[in-house]
Amino acid sequence: MSTVTCQISISLDGYVAGPDQSLQDPLGRGGLRLHEWLFAADRWREQHGESGGEAGVDSQVVDEAIRDVGAYVMGRRMFGGGDGPWDLTWRGWWGEEPPFRTPVFVLTHHPRPSLPMAGGTDFHFVTDGIHSALEQARKAAGDREVAIAGGASAVRQYLAAGLVDTLQLHVVPIMLGAGERLFDGLADLRLKQTRVVPGPTVTHVTYRVLP
């Protein structure tokens, strides 16, 4: 069965998004700084159709995180388009050729027909909960990994339900001071460190989630 993975950037004070998140500012105040290491990685830029960037350890980490993914699950907020019923003109943040290139299962309370995009990304909208979305993603992924793409709320729900096998944190030496904490409500989570990759500015630590 597919391994379920999750990788997410976290500030040293424990936040995965800054304060005052909104539709206009989905990562919250200062939240974009969590991802600066990522935006600089050539592998990420290539995945997102941009040139330039740096090769190196961070890029290898990105490559390893995405190359074996056969399907993604993401929360409604990460897909965007507001919290209510769908405006069908909203096709995600990523333009006509999203970087996922696999099926993507979007958790939502509002049904919507599947949305095939260029480059192999098909968005499917799942209204019957996180277990169903994961089940569908597993089927779509076959032997490949299922990645919980985010946002924080989706990641927390899957961690709380014991459905994640490996968690990779990109530990970014910034303080956000407020915002959304990854581990709130997850006091029972049990992890075992399995791998540490020192990047030039951030540290990538992989944990196996224990039953």
Q: Closest CB to a copy of itself among 98 and 199?
A: 199
Question: Distance between CA 158 and CA 72 in Å, rounded?
Answer: 13
Residues numbered 173 to 202 that lie near a copy of itself (CB under 8 A) are 173-178, 181, 183, 186-193, 195-196, 198, 200-202
Give which of 138, 108, 152 is closest to 4, Cα–Cα. 138
Please tell me whether residue 83 binds a copy of itself under the rule CB under 8 A: no
Please tell me whether residue 32 binds a copy of itself under the rule CB under 8 A: no
Please tell me whether residue 13 binds a copy of itself under the rule CB under 8 A: yes
Please tell me whether residue 203 binds a copy of itself under the rule CB under 8 A: yes
Q: Closest CB to a copy of itself among 79 and 207?
A: 207
| Least distance (Å) between residue 189 CB and a copy of itself | 5
* Entry field: residues in the chain: 211
Q: Which stretch binds a copy of itself (CB under 8 A): 7-15, 64-72, 111-119, 142-150?
A: 7-15
Q: Which stretch binds a copy of itself (CB under 8 A): 8-16, 77-85, 128-136, 142-150?
A: 8-16
Q: Closest CB to a copy of itself among 103 and 199?
A: 199
H/E element, 104: strand 103-107
Cα 21 to chain centroid, rounded? 17
Whether residue 151 has a cis bond before it, omega within 30° of 0: yes
Residues numbered 123 to 182 that lie near a copy of itself (CB under 8 A) are 169, 171, 173-178, 181
Question: Distance between CA 21 and CA 13 in Å, rounded?
Answer: 17
Please tell me whether residue 89 binds a copy of itself under the rule CB under 8 A: no
Size of the site for a copy of itself (CB under 8 A): 30
Cα separation values, 164 from 100, 190, 191, 194, Å = 19, 11, 11, 15
Cα separation values, 43 from 21, 49, 59, 60, 206, Å = 27, 10, 5, 8, 19
| Alpha helix positions (H), the chain | 36-39, 42-47, 57-66, 76-79, 130-141, 152-160
Positions in the binding site for a copy of itself (CB under 8 A): 12-14, 169, 171, 173-178, 181, 183, 186-193, 195-196, 198, 200-203, 205, 207
